[in-house]
Amino acid sequence: MMSIKKFQVTFDCADPERLGRFWCEVLGYVVPPPPAGFATWEDFKDAQPPAERDAWFACVDPSGVGPRLYFQRVPEGKAVKNRVHLDVRVATGLRGEERLAALEAECARLVPLGAVHVQTLYDGDDACIPMLDIEGNEFCLD
């Protein structure tokens, strides 16, 4: 059996480009070059039928290590808690106050981008910070 090594994470959303650009800022991702035959993404959008314009957006890890993120417009809004969410690993290997400080610093960076700080979970040794992205999707700083 073949082992799958590459995958993408897909977000259903109302505004794919806005949400995608938010996640570019969070993760240091970039917008890939436009499809072959198009000089810019605007040229690509202009060539699409009106109903398909701005229907999706993608971004990639510039190092090529992380998964591609794909954002697709859907008509329904978010109604319940995510069953899957991203953990943004900003304090790997840190413990105690050092871990908490690293998480709080990243939280402070993301709030001005539109993220919402839900709560800080800290037991004196371990910590994480649940947050919401700009469309209300849960994610954690870990």
**Which percentage of the chain shows pLDDT scores above 90?**
85
Judged by DSSP in three states, 136 sits in: coil
The pLDDT of residue 125 is: 87
For 15-68, write each residue's pLDDT tens digit: 999 999 999 999 999 999 999 999 999 999 999 998 888 999 999 999 999 999
The pLDDT of residue 122 is: 94
Rounded mean pLDDT, 81-88: 90
Residues 6+ positions from 19 with CB-CB distance below 8 Å: 11, 13, 57, 71, 133, 134, 135
User: Which helix (H) or strand (E) segment is 140 a member of?
Assistant: strand 138-141
Amino acid at 113: L
* Cα gap 138→80, rounded to integer Å: 10
- This prediction has a pTM of 0.89
Q: What b/e readout covers 91-121, taking b as 16+ CB neighbours within 10 angstroms?
A: beeeeeeebbebbbebbeebeeeebeeeeee
Q: Is the pLDDT score of 80 beyond 90?
A: no
**Local confidence band at 99 (pLDDT 50, 70, 90 cut-offs):** very high
The pLDDT of residue 81 is: 85
In this structure, what token pair is assigned to residue 78? 């978010």
In this structure, what token pair is assigned to residue 118? 């839900």
